[in-house]
Amino acid sequence: MPIYAYKGMDRSGKEIKNTINVESIVVAKQKIKSMGIMLIDIKEQKAQGTSGGRSFLSFTGSVSVEDLAMMTRQLATLIKAKIQIVEALAALVDQVENANLRLVLADLRQKVNEGASLAKALHDHPKVFNSVYINMVEAGEASGTLEIVLLRLADFSEAQVKLRNKIKGAMTYPVIMAVFGFAMMNVIFIFVIPKMAKIFQSTKKELPAITKVCIWISEFLQNYWWLVIAGIVGTIYLVSKYISTSKGEAQWHALQLRLPILGMLTKMINVSRFCSTLGTLLNSGVPILTAMTIVKNLIPNVHMKDAIEKARISVSEGATLTAPLIQSGYFPPLVTHMIRLGEKSGELEPMLKIISENYEDQVQSKIGGLTSILEPIMMICLGVAVGFIVFAVVIPMMDINKI
């Protein structure tokens, strides 16, 4: 059923902009008129354009994880209340606020109404629904537990949102401090130091080494500021270009794992994602080989991804899941031990859930600790920079006072 975006005016003269989900533009005009709105403009919003049999929505915005999690939970509630999936999707079209998601839901409703399964309809929107989402829905439809699977998906999405927001919140203050400090130092070197340099040079006295360095930095920034900007931009471009190669990516990801604090945090986040996603997929009835392929594609670090692929091959050959994970050295002994116990006891899914919850708590704690470490480090760096400038200025000033 198409969605029509319209603009009109109500009886008080107030401009109205909204959308309506009806069978045709004629019905849309009739409904808008019945609401007491004088129609100014109306046009259909639709998904169009195909590539390899998949349709891509013709909007420029995106669907956030928060909106997707909320929609998934609402859909699970409606299906649990024994509402047919077509009717549930139609109800969500009228409820969701995100216009892009509304278009997606309208397209899903139309495809399901034409006889397609929900999982097959989701395949046409890969930018909105990832492989985890699609495979879990497919398993839920096959097992008749779609509402349970959707609730798990909502929980899974909300946990990802919380972790991402925690990381963003932890990095906000250090980033602001770094930007402010960089801007302040540039202002001092470009505008303040040159004026002080003229005073010092007028005394005809030999300046201390620290003052000479400060003046040299100031003159360099004044005359070659464009070279500094070009150097920064060029370095970022070359590094990003090198990282995009397979060799550069492998070296960059290896460095991430070796860093003192960030390395441990990277491992913990990836282990938590591996366990939570694999446990959720297995709990939803997805075969273990398919589940491990999906999980592997969700892990960004190539070295940990390679370890998971070796574990998947090991399982396909009838061996254990844990041996390749232990050999990689990226998965802590406690994690591999608990996974081995889960395999032996046939309780792998609950064991993965326990590991995931434990590591989520540890990640939260580590992020909090990282914030508490970064703040004093940033303050010390700013203090050293300011102290350098103060000494460079104060020492010659003391000499001038003696004269």
AA identity, residue 190: I
Helices (H), 319-347: 322-328, 333-345
Integer Cα distance of 393 and 401 in angstroms: 13
Do 170-403 and 1-45 fall under one CATH topology? no
- Residue 43 has phi, psi (to 5 degrees) of -150, 155
* Fold type of domain 1-45: Ubiquitin-like (UB roll) (3.10.20)
- Residue 183 has phi, psi (to 5 degrees) of -65, -40
- Superfamily of domain 170-403 in the CATH hierarchy: Type II secretion system (T2SS), domain F (1.20.81.30)
Integer Cα distance of 130 and 163 in angstroms: 18
Strand residues in 269-313 grouped as ranges (E) = none
Token pair in block for residue 57: 């929505």
Model pTM above 0.75: no
Q: Per-domain residue ranges for the chain?
A: 1-45, 170-403
How much of the chain, in percent, has pLDDT values that exceed 70?
93
Q: What is the pLDDT of residue 46?
A: 55
Integer Cα distance of 127 and 154 in angstroms: 17
Q: Do the beta carbons of residue 299 and residue 274 sit within 8 Å?
A: yes
192: Cα separation from own chain's centroid: 41
Integer Cα distance of 381 and 387 in angstroms: 10
For residues 209 and 29, which has the higher predicted lDDT (pLDDT)?
A: 209
What mean pLDDT is reported for the chain?
83
CB neighbourhood size of 126 (10 A): 13
pLDDT tens for 140-173 read 887 777 888 888 888 878 877 887 887 787 778 8
First to last CA, the chain: 88
Q: Give the 3-state secondary structure of residue 62.
A: coil
Query: Vertex 273, ends 268 and 277: CA angle to 5°?
Result: 155
pLDDT tens for 199-253 read 877 777 788 888 888 889 888 988 888 998 999 999 999 999 999 898 999 999 9
Q: What is the pLDDT of residue 255?
A: 92
